[in-house]
């Protein structure tokens, strides 16, 4: 459940925000939405795919964190084990939207049901004079990047779809025991069609700034091998601890 309300200093000045990560805080996710402006940073750690958004059916970018819906292989206790945390997770539990009080303009919303919120420890949201704390300002900056990137993401996906550069892919992952896992509902860059594009189309993609992202996204699929290494290392650690 969520309970989004407009963030207000008078009402929420005592709230604090957890400064750690954890499954119990909502980080147990196998995939997280992303925007293409993140691709250069994301591609260093995460396999990137398209998936279809529920309802609209539009292609949206997503970063793979694990091989099941709740498996996040980047969680290491309370630490995030990668140099870059996706924007969508850095913004939690905040969003940009309309409230009943301000239906004609965007406002900063906070989910009061989020387990990330506390009154006892963590980072403050406001200084005593009502100014946003450094943590809150960083979240606002991340939200602005996410909102701006979302429009770029729609343009990026539309350009690739128009050129028939998005194709479905089933990701098959060998299991340590039991049958292999097959992850469906994912889409990737159609590299054969990309390589066959005429020069004019490539120049158009380059002029839009999309061409580097396309190649980086295509190459990021190789990060699946690193996810398998992470999974197997975590399993080995758990076996060793249970045997101790």
Q: Over the stretch 115-165, which tens digit does the pLDDT of each residue have?
A: 999 998 899 999 999 999 999 999 999 999 999 999 999 999 999 999 999
pTM: 0.91
Residues of the chain with pLDDT below 70 are 98-104, 176, 243-244
Q: Can you list the alpha helix ranges (DSSP code H) found in 43-133?
A: 87-90
Q: What is the pLDDT of residue 223?
A: 97
User: Residue 52: which residues within 8 A CB-CB, separation 6 or more?
Assistant: 58, 59, 60, 185, 187
Of residues 212, 186, 85, 196, the one with CA closest to residue 138 = 85
Which residues neighbour 178 within 8 Å (Cβ) at sequence distance 6 or greater?
Answer: none
- Give the Cα separation of 210 and 13 in Å (integer): 42
Domain count, the chain: 1
DSSP characters for 105-131? S-EEEEETT-TTEESSSSEESB-TTSP
CA angle 203, 206, 210 (to 5 degrees): 135
pLDDT at residue 101, rounded to an integer: 64
The pLDDT score that the predictor gives to residue 238 is 80
Range of the domain at 159: 4-243
Residue 102 pLDDT: 64
How many C-alpha atoms does 226 have within 13 Å on its Cβ side?
Answer: 15
- Bridge partners of 60, per DSSP, are 51
* 8 Å CB contact between 191 and 165: no
Instruction: Please give the C-alpha separations between residue 177 and each of 224, 235, 239, in angstroms, as whole numbers.
Output: 18, 11, 14
- Alpha helices (H) in 1-72, listed in sequence order: 9-12, 39-42
Residue 146 φ then ψ, to 5° = -70, -45
Buried residues in 174-213 as b, exposed as e (16+ CB within 10 A):
eeeeeeeeebeebbbbbeeebeebeeeeeeebeeeebbeb
């Amino acid at each position: 459940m969520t309970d989004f309300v407009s963030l207000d200093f008078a009402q929420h000045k005592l709230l604090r925000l957890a400064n750690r990560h954890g499954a119990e805080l909502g980080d147990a996710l196998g995939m997280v939405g992303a925007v293409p402006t993140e691709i250069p940073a994301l591609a260093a750690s995460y396999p990137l795919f398209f998936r279809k958004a529920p309802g609209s059916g539009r292609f949206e970018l997503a970063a793979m964190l694990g091989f099941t819906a709740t498996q996040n292989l980047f969680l290491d206790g309370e630490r995030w084990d990668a140099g870059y945390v996706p924007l969508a997770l850095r913004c939690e539990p905040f969003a940009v939207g309309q409230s009943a009080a301000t239906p004609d303009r965007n406002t900063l919303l906070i989910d009061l049901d989020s387990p990330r919120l506390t009154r006892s420890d963590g980072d403050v949201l406001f200084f005593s004079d009502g100014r946003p704390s450094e943590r809150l300002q960083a979240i606002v900056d991340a939200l602005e990047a996410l909102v701006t990137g979302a429009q770029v993401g729609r343009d990026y996906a539309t350009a690739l779809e128009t050129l028939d550069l998005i194709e479905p892919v089933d990701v098959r992952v060998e299991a340590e025991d039991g049958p292999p896992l097959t992850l469906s509902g994912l889409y990737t860059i159609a590299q054969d069609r990309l390589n066959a594009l005429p020069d004019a189309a490539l120049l158009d993609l380059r002029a839009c700034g999309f061409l580097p992202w396309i190649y980086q996204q295509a190459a990021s699929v190789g990060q699946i091998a690193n996810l398998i290494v992470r999974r197997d290392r975590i399993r080995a650690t758990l076996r060793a601890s249970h045997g101790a």
